[in-house]
Chains A and B, each alone.
Chain A
Amino acid sequence: MSAATTDPRGGLSDFFYRHSGLLTLALLLPPLLWIGIVYLGSLFALLLQSFYSLDEFSGLVVHEFTLTTYGHLFTASNLTIILRTAVMAAVVTMASAILAFPIAYYAARYAKGGWKALFYLAVMMPLWSSYLVKVYAWKLILAKEGIITWMAEKLHIGWLLDALLAVPVIGGSSLSFSYIGTFIVFVYIWLPYMILPTQAALERVPKNFIEASADLGASPRQTFRTVILPLALPGVIAGSIFTFSLTLGDYIIPQIVGNSRPFIGTAVYALQGTAGDIPLAAAFTVVPVVIMGFYLTIARRMGAFDAL
């Protein structure tokens, strides 16, 4: 410990080594201040804004505490927007879970060595590819003159596509102007978020559980239903947190692919931009936060947090 007296820098190092709590604090302070001030500060500002209101005559924000903005939130047209978004998020989540499971299952249980790495990259590359480029790709695919129409004609099932588009509500003039289109793009964009946690959960299923189940006379189908599926469920729920939350908050996909009926995200975007009604936009964003709050509470009970 002689260094402590001769070298002042060494002395400081020794001091921090002996008082590791202070070292933790010194290291933690800068990132904590950043997140605390920039992020939590902003979230607080957002919450504050939702208690202000917009003066209807001047179009300016009145900086006084009021609940009228929340009153505006619960009008029939806004509730329809919230319901539409929640239904879309739920349907997208279920479809992602169904599509993701075979990929995750194959990657976790059958892919070995190089194949496994390839599978992993094959899921990760689309996850990290540019979000806008992916949305744009679907604009190309779903367009009336695009590849889907072309394929439907080649396969002589153009009538099926037309019948699908003729379905009220979910149909439209072409796939890129219908709810079906919006739904497909949502599923495509968020699918990797579902695959990764599902795969992670499946890989943690102990091999000897499966052997034990087979030894005790269960058929592969029974083993799957009573052993593998329950153990994989937390992973699927962890994935659903992402698919659900991301669909609730997205405002770009419905603008580019879909019939221009608003979702929560597009409503918030329009309110803060052209309408200049930041208080109502702020109140609107509280909705997904509250919905996610409930969702996370349920997910936690089902053990999804351990699977993250």
Chain B
Amino acid sequence: MRSERGATLPLKAAAIGGLLFLHIPLALIILYAFTTEEKSFQFPPPGLTLRWFQAAWFDRPDIWGPLWLSLQVAVLATLIALVLGTLAAAALWRARFFGKDSISLLFILPIALPGIITGIALRSAFDIMSIPFSTWTIVLGHATFCIVVVYNNALARFRRLSGSMIEASMDLGANGPQTFRHVILPQIGSALLAGGMLAFALSFDEVIVTTFTAGQQATLPIWMLNELIRPRQRPVTNVVALIVIAVTFLPILAAYYLTREGEHTGGSGK
């Protein structure tokens, strides 16, 4: 049959070429973390060294503050998003009412509109209400766009949950909290974990909104942005970039494996 033939050569070449285009830059970042060349981005690197890992660890105390702030913000934003995203998914899962579509659109809006709009909108609000910048102003912004990630994952899992199990649980005398603890939570747990990890990765890496909500504070991405615009020690920036890749890579891979059986796989909508 015609449609079952293998792919033509040009198609294969274009597809593989496209994937290489997506991955070579990431591979190069890893290579450059080991280069001995300090002043430029010379290719091929004149030599390889582990020196910059040592330099990043011992000689650059300015990395630790931003790293700590980023972790704090990501944890807080993830927790808030987990609670609010799950509640939203639980509410909209089986409900049918007028305006439901508008409400689900509302949860998606923070990632559908360009981040700069969310950022400057929050900044104007802080400005009008004279709220000083703090860790919480950053968390406020991050939690807002992380809700949708948890919401999407939880909603996909709720749709696979059968309503009769909840009815059975209630018929057998379990109350609401018991039903939630023993029937619902075991079934949606892995989806929530996946959503939480994606939210963490999203928050840990976010820079566009953060620039507007951080004031003088620096998260790790803001530290990196400053290094990109005014470089001090390029190889150390390469090392931090490598670490950031690792920190975001692992939760995303984990989220994929936690949700791959479903029709909706974690991470398909960023």
Contact = CB atoms under 8 A, between A and B. Distances in A.
Interface string A257-298: 000000001001100100000100110010011001000000
A13 B172 CA distance: 13
B175 A248 contact: no
A131 B29 contact: no
A267 B225 CA distance: 17
Nearest to B180: A13
30 contacts: A3-B175, A13-B176, A17-B170, A25-B91, A31-B151, A35-B107, A35-B144, A38-B122, A41-B125, A48-B124, A99-B18, A103-B14, A103-B18, A106-B7, A110-B11, A123-B19, A126-B26, A128-B198, A128-B202, A132-B228, A139-B228, A143-B40, A143-B41, A147-B43, A188-B25, A220-B2, A245-B114, A268-B116, A269-B116, A285-B121
Contact of B25 (A141, A207, A250): A141
A121 interface: yes
Contacts of A196: 268-269
Contacts of B41: 139-140, 143, 145-146
Given A191-B22, A256-B228, A46 B270 contact: no
A281 B26 contact: no
Nearest to B268: A196
Contacts, number: 284
A140 B123 CA distance: 32
Which of A126, A149, A256 is most buried by chain B, counting CB atoms within 10 A of its CB? A126
A214 B175 contact: no
Contacts of A121: 253, 256
Q: How large is the interface on A (under 10, 10 to 19, 20 to 34, 35 or more residues)?
A: 35 or more
Nearest to B109: A39
Contacts of A46: 117, 120-121, 124-125
Given A34-B144, A131-B207, A191-B22, A24 B91 contact: yes
A246 B224 CA distance: 21
A28 B26 CA distance: 40
A248 B23 CA distance: 25
B18 A133 contact: no
Contact of B211 (A103, A139, A145, A269): A269
A265 B116 contact: yes
Which of A45, A146, A268 is most buried by chain B, counting CB atoms within 10 A of its CB? A45
A255 B228 CA distance: 10
Nearest to A122: B19
A145 B43 contact: yes
Given A17-B170, A35-B106, A106-B11, A245 B113 contact: yes
A39 B118 contact: yes
B36 interface: no
B110 A140 contact: no
Interface in A178-201: 188, 191-193, 195-196
Given A134-B26, A214-B2, A45 B121 contact: yes
Given A13-B179, A27-B91, A103-B18, A145 B40 contact: yes
A150 interface: yes
Q: How large is the interface on B (under 10, 10 to 19, 20 to 34, 35 or more residues)?
A: 35 or more
**Secondary structure class of chain B's binding surface, majority of residues:** helix
A106 B120 contact: no
A272 B69 CA distance: 24
A81 to B, nearest CB: 14
A136 interface: yes
Contacts of B91: 23-25, 27-28, 31
A120 B92 CA distance: 28
B212 interface: yes
A158 interface: no
Given A126-B23, A139-B41, 12 more contacts: A30-B83, A30-B87, A31-B85, A31-B88, A99-B21, A120-B265, A130-B244, A133-B26, A145-B40, A188-B22, A214-B1, A251-B208
Contacts of B107: 31, 35
Contacts of B260: 117
Interface string B79-117: 010011101101110110100000100110110111111
Contacts of B11: 102, 105-106, 110
B154 to A, nearest CB: 11
Interface in A17-61: 17, 20-21, 23-25, 27-28, 30-32, 34-36, 38-43, 45-46, 48-49
A130 B87 contact: no
Interface in A111-170: 117, 119-141, 143, 145-147, 149-150
B3 interface: yes
Given A122-B23, A140-B32, A133 B241 contact: yes
Which of A124, A138, A250, A256 is most buried by chain B, counting CB atoms within 10 A of its CB? A124
A294 B192 CA distance: 35
Nearest to A185: B25
A36 B11 CA distance: 47
B237 interface: yes
A102 B202 CA distance: 28
B60 interface: no
